[in-house]
Amino acid sequence: MISNTSYYRAAVIAVAILVPVSGVAQTAPRAQATNLKVTVLSTMLVGDGGANGVGEWGFAALLEVDGRRILIDTGARPETVLRNVEEMRVDLSNVTEVVLTHNHADHTGGLLALRRAFMAKTPAALSRVHVPAGIFTSRLAGGREAGGLLPIKAAFEQLGGTFIEHAAPFELAPGVWLLGPVPRVHPERNWSATGRLQLPAGPVEDNVPEDTAIAVNTRDGLVVISGCGHAGIINTLEYARKAIADVPIEAAVGGFHLFAASDEVLGWTGGRLKALGVRNLLGAHCTGIEAVFRLRELIGLARRTAVVAAVGSSFTLGSGIVSPPLAR
């Protein structure tokens, strides 16, 4: 599998302390979504000369499923997603539900600005924020609060917003699941280790234990949307299959924190993705450009089915990935 055994064993021990493995398993047939589209609203690359807004080190996406709309993460800078949806003519005023995949500022930075902008038109806009359990744990880097949510939590609640924590998989809409904190079965070290979590027993390495993703059960397989994939792309996809539906992965979309992965790690990851039956890969944010190209080759995908995401890139069930020219 992956070498550096002692290094990864230490990582597994740290994860086991912070994220207990869930016993969730499928107990009944799951609802299936019929129509689905995921559109990237924040990532680094802008692929058509700026007509679709601006890029940043951050992530946000709009999930549209059978007439329901959910905003997944909110980008880094307060104005980025707001500007991008304006230029893309995407109206978020009728989106009530938001999912935040983890407590990093490059995924939470636009929350207040978006709520303020769209509540003026629709009071309930972006007012219900679903988050994984443990997301409000304090995390320090350089002696300062590094979590993006704690500094803005009170302000968001004063705007009439609410946070709903989920410790286990939760069905947000028919066929649409928030996974809750993803168990770390495989020792994927997909985090930067620059901060410390402030636990009651004392500070520990911040391995982003709350990291979660969205899994949508469709007629063609699972579509999984990840913010950063700090839990590991393989851990995330395997957990989605265990908890939601044991079917191939029709699409993996979003950030999977592989930009700094070694050739060995990418080789192992690509082999597991191929075994999982991944048919489409739209790699945004921290996935990394070179990593997407390597995974395309390792999984055996084509140029149209393994794409570096740009602002405005989308995946639609039944028709696949569409991206601006530079990202194709």
Distance separating alpha carbons of residues 139 and 136, to the nearest angstrom: 9
Label residue 67 left, alpha or beta by phi (over 0 means left) and psi (-120 to 50 means alpha): left
Distance separating alpha carbons of residues 109 and 75, to the nearest angstrom: 6
Say how far residue 92 (Cα) sits from the centre of its chain. Answer: 19
Angle 280-223-235 from CA coordinates, rounded to 5°: 90
Q: Pairing between strand 97-99 and 68-72?
A: parallel
Would you state the torsion angle of the CA atoms of residues 47, 256, 175, 97, taken in this order, to the nearest 10 degrees?
A: -70
Structure tokens at 26: 């499928």
Beta bridge partners of 223: 216, 251
What is the CATH superfamily name and number for domain 30-319?
Ribonuclease Z/Hydroxyacylglutathione hydrolase-like (3.60.15.10)
Contact between residue 94 and residue 63 where contact means Cβ atoms under 8 Å apart: no
> Residue 285 — φ and ψ, nearest 5°?
50, -120
Helix (H, G, I), strand (E, B) or coil at 184: coil
Strands (E), the chain: 36-42, 60-65, 68-72, 97-99, 128-132, 139-141, 144-145, 162-166, 170-173, 176-178, 196-199, 202-205, 213-218, 221-226, 249-254, 281-283, 306-308, 314-316, 320-322
pLDDT confidence of residue 73: 98
pLDDT confidence of residue 274: 97
Q: pLDDT tens digits, the chain, 328 residues: what are they? A: 444 333 333 333 333 333 333 445 555 678 999 999 999 999 999 977 556 789 999 999 999 999 999 999 999 999 999 999 999 999 999 999 999 999 999 999 999 999 999 999 999 999 999 999 999 999 988 788 888 999 999 999 999 999 999 999 999 999 999 999 999 999 999 998 778 899 999 999 999 999 999 999 999 999 999 999 999 999 999 999 999 999 999 999 999 999 999 999 999 999 999 999 999 999 999 999 999 999 999 999 999 999 999 999 999 999 999 998 877 7
Say how far residue 212 (Cα) sits from the centre of its chain. Answer: 7
pLDDT confidence of residue 180: 98
Residue ranges of domains in the chain: 30-319
Distance separating alpha carbons of residues 28 and 184, to the nearest angstrom: 25
pLDDT confidence of residue 325: 81
Q: Which residue has the tokens 């978020």?
A: 92
Helix (H, G, I), strand (E, B) or coil at 98: strand
pLDDT confidence of residue 5: 35
pLDDT confidence of residue 144: 85
Which amino acid, residue 96?
A: T
